[in-house]
Chain A
Amino acid sequence: MAVSDRELAELVQLRPTQTLDAFKGVKKLPLEEFFTSGHRTCQGCESSLVMKMMVKAAGPRTIVLGSTGCMYVANTTYYSTSWVVPWMHTQLGSSGSAGLGTAAGLKALMRKGKIKDEPINVIAFCGDGGGADMGLSAISATLTHPDYNVLILMYDNESYANTDIQLSGSTPYGANTTFSPPGKLKRIMHHRWKKNMAGMMAAGHPTCRYVATVCMSFPVYSMNAVRKALSIGGPTFIHSLDPCPKGWDYDPMLSHELGELAVTTGIWPLYEVEEGVFRLVGKTRDIADGRLKRLPVRDYLLKQGRFAHFTEDDIAYFQSKVDETWEKWLVPGVIPFKKQIEEDRPPA
C-alpha cells in the first residue's frame, strides 16, 4: 500500500518556511541591502546584481552558501565582504551539498531544541561551471530530498569566468573562450550545444517543488521567483542567465539590453515549474502566444565579441537550432523531445 500524504508528511517533517509575498513592482522593493559595497566584480557584472537582488528578495533571516567562482573570489575579500547576511564558501562542486548540510544542521538543532525554532532561508548558489558541470550530481541529489528547505540558484555567466573565461557545459555553441579560441584551421572550437540545466532539473526531479529560469533584466519577476521558491520550501532550483562583460566581450553598459535580447530572441526562455505545473513567463510567453515576434539571434550574437568570428553560415546555423527549440520541441525551449512522439502514440 502506498504511503498516504499524512504518513509522508510525518516521514519528511519539513520545517515551516517564511511567507514572502511577491513584490508588486520596482517601486515597492525594499531599500535595505544585504549585499552591499566591498565587492570587486567587473563593471556591468550581472551576476553580482543577481546576488544583490537574490538576497534583497530573501531578507535578513537567510544563510547564503556560495561555491567557488567570481561570486566568491570577487565578493568576499577579507575585511571587505559584501555580505550582510551570514555567508560561507563551499567547494566548486558542492553547492548542492552545502545547502543540504546547512538545512539539515538547522533542522536537527531546531527539532532537538538545541537552537531557537524559526524559519531560516537557506540559499546555495553556484556558477554554471560549479553547477551544470562539476556540481551536477550533488545538486541533483539535493533536489531529490523532500526533507529540507533549500534553494539552489545557479548564476550562469556561460563560462568558467573566474579562471579567465574557459568554456563550460553551459557555454553557447561556437563562443570564443580561452579554451576555445578560433584559429587558422578551426574557426569553431566549441561545437557542443548548451546544457538545458533548468529543464533537466525540473524533468528529472519530481520532488523539486519549484524551478524557474530568470534574468536580472527582469528584476521584479526574478526576485519574486526567489521569494516563491523560499516560501514554497522543500528543494527548489533557479537558473539565471547573466551577461558578463568580460567573458562575453561587450561594453558594460549593454548588460541589461543583452539579457533582454537573450529572452526576446528566444535563446533564453523564461519559465516556472511550480509543484509540477509549467508556465511560460513574461516576454517568452508573449512570443509563444504570438503577441511578440521573436527577434533574430544575430541581434544578440553580433553585439558580443565572443561571437565576432561567426560567419553568416554560423549565424544561420545558430538561428536554425534556436528555431528548432521553438518549433519542434515538446515544450518550446524547455523539453527537447520532438513533438513527433505524440504522433507515434499507438491508437487506443
Chain B
Amino acid sequence: MTEALATPPQKQLAADKTSLITGSEAIAVACKLADVDVITAYPIRPYDTVMQYVAKLVSNGELDCEYIVAESEHSQFEIVKHASAVGARVFCGSSGVGWMYAFEALTVTPALRIPMVAMVGNRALDDPGAFGVEHNDALAVRDLGWQLVWVDSAQEALDTALIAYRVAEDRRIFLPCAISCDGAFLTHSQALVKVPSQEKVKAFLPRYDRGDLLLHPDNPITVAPQVNEDWLMEIRRQTAAAMDRSPAVIREAYADFERIFGRSYGNPFFEEYQTEDADVVLVGMGTLSNPVRVAIRQMRQEGKKVGFVRVRWFRPFAAEELAATLGRFKAVGVIDRDFSLGSPYRSGVLATEVRAAMYPAPNRPPIVGFICGLGGREVTVPAVREMTESVYLAAEGTTQPGTKWIGLRE
C-alpha cells in the first residue's frame, strides 16, 4: 500500500492502448495485468467467456499462472481459496446455479479472510432454464463478508478488477470481492476499452502479502481451528470490522487509481446521472443504466426532471451517503433485476436495502420498488418511462409505495 502511494505522480508511465473487447475479455486482461498466480475455471454461461479468454492468454504465453479446469464450481472456488492461503493471487468466477453450487466455498472464503477476486456473470437461477441476467446469484452472498460491486461497461469491468485486487488484498481488509457483470449485456458486448500499461498497474497494485496469516512451513499456523461458542463471536466481529474498514480503503484505491491511470469514477459507491436538478430519481445496478439514461434524455426534452443513481458497491453499502443523496428528491424508484419473495413490501433486494438505509434519514421521500428485466428480459425505454410515471405519482402522493412488476405479461 505505502509502496504504491509513494510512486511519484509526475513520473511518465507508458500510455494506454485502446482495444475493442467484451466485459469478460476486459476482466481477463485485468488478470494478466495483475499477474494472477492461480485461476480455476468451470463452464457455465455467461461468465465462462472470461475463462475462454484466460485460457487463450495462457496458451499464448501472455499470462503466467496455474490455470486449472476444475470438476465442479465447489472445487473451483475451494482450489483458489487454498492457493490464496499459501500466498497466491487468485481469480475465479461463475454464474447463476454455478455460483450457488459453490455456495459452501463462498461462505468460508470471507471467514478465512481470503482476498479472492471473482467475476459473477449474473444469470437467472434455473429452474426453469434461462441464461439471461438476474442479480439473485451474486446477491445471495450479501450477508457473508463478500464485497460486491456492479459495473456497467467493459472499461469499468477492467478498472474495477484492478481496484478489487487492491482493496481485497489490503491487510486492513483481506476479504473477497465479486465483480458482477450482467450476463450478455456486459459479458458478451464489445466496447472500446483503454487497456493500461503494465507499468501503471505495477505502480497501482502492490504484491499480495499474506503476512502472519501465510500458510507455510516457515509460519506453521493452524488455520480455522475449532473455536465454538468460546471465540466465534469475537472472530465474526473481526470480520465485520474488516468490512467496516472497506469504504475508506475503497475510497483510497479510487483516488490512487485516478492519480495513476488518469481516469476518474467520482464517488466510488454510486454514480449520479442528471440528478442535480432532478425532482424524482430511479435507482438501479448494472447495465440497465443504458436504457435508463436514454429514457432520461428523452424525458428531459419533454421537461421532466428525472435523474438516475447507479449503485456500484452493494457491499459495503454506502447507506448514509446514499440516504443523504436520495433525501434530496420528491420520490425514488428502485429498479431490481432480482426478487426477494415474501420480503417487506414484496420488493427486490435493492429496494429493501434502500428503504432500510433511508429510515434514519431526516428526509424520507416515498420509495416505489420495481421488479424488471428478469431472466435477461430487456429493460426497454418505454418500461423506464412507465416506472418514472409511477414515481411521479408517488411524489404527488397518489400511489401507495409498494412494488410493481414491469414488462410482465399478465
**B217 A141 Cβ-Cβ under 8 A:** no
Known A-B contacts A83-B222, A86-B219, A101-B78; the reply to A138 vs B72 at CB < 8 A is yes
Contact with A along B105-116 (1 / 0, CB 8 A): 100100000000
Decide if the interface of chain A is mainly helix, strand, loop or mixed: mixed
Give the interface size bracket for B toward A. 35 or more
Q: Is the Cβ of B222 less than 8 Å from the Cβ of A76?
A: yes
* Chain B 130-171 near chain A by CB (<8 Å), digits 1 or 0: 000000000000000000000000000000000000000000
For the complex, what is the distance from the CA of A179 to the CA of B89, rounded to whole Å? Answer: 43
Near B by CB (< 8 A), chain A positions 100-152 give 100-102, 104-109, 111-112, 114-115, 120, 137-138, 140-141, 145, 147
Interface readout for A55-92 with B: 1 if CB under 8 Å, 0 if not? 00000111101000000111011110101111111110
Interface locus among B63-71, B188-196, B239-247, B394-402: B63-71
Asked, given contacts A106-B86, A108-B66, whether A78 binds B230 with beta carbons under 8 Å apart, the answer is yes
Indicate if A182 sits at the interface (CB-CB under 8 A): no
Bits for A179-220, please: 1 = Cβ < 8 Å to B, else 0.
000000000000000000000000000000000000000000
Q: Does A325 contact B (CB under 8 A)?
A: no
Kindly provide the distance from the CB of A249 to the nearest chain B CB, expressed in whole angstroms: 25
- CB B3 to nearest CB in A, in angstroms, measures 15
Check A137 against B72 for contact (C-beta < 8 Å): yes
**Residues of chain A with a CB closer than 8 A to B90's CB:** 105
Residues from 45 to 82 in B contacting A, C-beta threshold 8 Å: 64-66, 68, 70-72, 74-75, 78-82
Determine which of B38, B74, B217, B219 lies in contact with A104 in the assembled complex, contact meaning CB atoms within 8 Å. Answer: B38
Contact indicator B217/A63 (Cβ below 8 Å) = yes
B79 contact set on A, CB distance < 8 A: 97, 100-101, 104
B222 to chain A, nearest CB (A): 4
Q: Decide if B221 touches A86 in the complex (CB within 8 Å).
A: yes
Partner of B215 from A79, A81, A102, A137 at Cβ < 8 Å: A102
What residue of chain A has the Cβ atom nearest to residue B230's Cβ?
Answer: A78
B341 interface contact, C-beta 8 A: no
Task: For residue A263, give the distance in angstroms from its CB to the closest CB of chain B.
Answer: 33
Given the known inter-chain contacts A91-B104, A105-B88, A108-B65, please indicate yes or no for A97 contacting B70, CB distance below 8 A. yes
Say whether A93 faces chain B, with CB atoms less than 8 Å apart: yes
Residue of A nearest to B231 (CB): A78
Asked whether A63 lies within 8 Å of B215 as measured between CB atoms, the reply is yes
Known contacts A108-B83, A109-B86: A138-B37 contact under CB 8 Å = no
- Collect the chain A residues with CB atoms within 8 Å of residue B65's CB: 108
* A230 contacts the other chain (CB 8 A): no
Task: Determine if A94 is an interface residue (Cβ-Cβ < 8 Å).
Answer: yes
Closest CB-CB distance, A88 to chain B, in whole Å?
Answer: 4
Check B87–A98 contact: CB distance below 8 A: no
Bound: A76/B230 CA distance, A: 14
A96 interface residue, CB < 8 Å from B?
yes
Q: How far is the CB of A139 from chain B (nearest CB, A)?
A: 10
How many angstroms between the C-alpha atoms of A294 and B228 in the bound complex? Answer: 47
Distance between Cα atoms of A90 and B111 in the complex (Å): 12
- Complex: A81 Cα to B221 Cα, angstroms: 9
Bound form: Cα–Cα A137–B80 in Å: 17
B37 touches A112 (CB 8 A): yes
Cβ of B220 within 8 Å of any chain A Cβ, yes or no, is yes
B199 → A minimal CB distance (Å): 18
For B78, give its contact among A61, A86, A94, A147 (CB under 8 Å). Answer: A94
Q: Is the CB of B217 within 8 A of A88?
A: no
A88 touches B224 (CB 8 A): yes
CB distance from B164 to the nearest CB of A (A): 19
Q: Which residues of chain A (223-252) have a CB below 8 Å from chain B?
A: none
CB distance from A92 to the nearest CB of B (A): 8
Smallest Cβ-Cβ distance to A95: which chain B residue = B78
> When the two chains form their complex, are residues A100 and B105 in contact, meaning their CB atoms are under 8 A apart?
no
Inter-subunit contact A100/B108 (CB<8 Å):
no
Question: A94-B78, A105-B85 in contact; A138/B71 too (CB < 8 A)?
Answer: yes
Closest to A108 in B: B37
Inter-chain CA distance A97–B80, complex, in Å, is 9
Closest B residue to A97 using CB positions: B78
B237 → chain A closest CB, angstroms: 15
Taking CB atoms, residues of chain B closer than 8 Å to A138 are: 71-72, 74-75, 78
Which residues from chain B contact A98 at a C-beta distance below 8 Å?
78, 82
Chain B residues, CB < 8 A from A106: 86
- Nearest chain A CB to B181's CB is how many angstroms away? 25
Q: Given A85-B217, A86-B220, A101-B80, are A94 and B85 neighbors across the interface (CB < 8 Å)?
A: no
Least distance between B40 CB and chain A CB atoms (Å): 8
CB pair A104–B83 under 8 Å, yes or no, is: yes
Contact present for B78 and A88 (CB under 8 Å): no
CA distance A105 to B90 in the complex (A): 9
- B residues 218-239 with Cβ under 8 Å of A? 219-228, 230-231
Shortest beta-carbon distance, A304 to chain B, in Å? Answer: 28
Q: Is the CB of A73 within 8 A of B226?
A: yes
CB distance from B57 to the nearest CB of A (A): 15
Contacts of B74 in A (CB 8 A): 91, 93-94, 97, 138
The 8 closest A-B pairs by CB, nearest first: A101-B82, A105-B83, A97-B78, A105-B88, A101-B79, A141-B71, A89-B224, A88-B223
- Chain A interface (Cβ < 8 Å from any Cβ of B): 60-63, 65, 72-74, 76-79, 81, 83-91, 93-94, 96-102, 104-109, 111-112, 114-115, 120, 137-138, 140-141, 145, 147
For this complex, 29 residue pairs linking A to B, each with C-beta atoms less than 8 Å apart, are: A63-B86, A63-B217, A78-B226, A78-B231, A86-B215, A86-B222, A88-B215, A88-B222, A91-B105, A93-B74, A97-B70, A97-B75, A98-B82, A100-B68, A100-B82, A101-B81, A101-B83, A102-B83, A102-B86, A104-B66, A105-B38, A108-B65, A109-B37, A114-B37, A114-B207, A120-B216, A120-B217, A137-B72, A138-B72
Beyond known contacts A65-B82, A100-B82, A112-B64: 19 more, CB 8 A cutoff: A63-B215, A63-B216, A72-B226, A76-B224, A77-B225, A78-B226, A81-B225, A86-B222, A96-B75, A104-B83, A105-B83, A105-B86, A105-B87, A109-B37, A109-B86, A112-B37, A114-B87, A137-B72, A138-B71
Q: Which residues of B does A touch, CB under 8 Å?
A: 35, 37-38, 64-66, 68, 70-72, 74-75, 78-88, 90, 104-105, 108, 207, 215-217, 219-228, 230-231
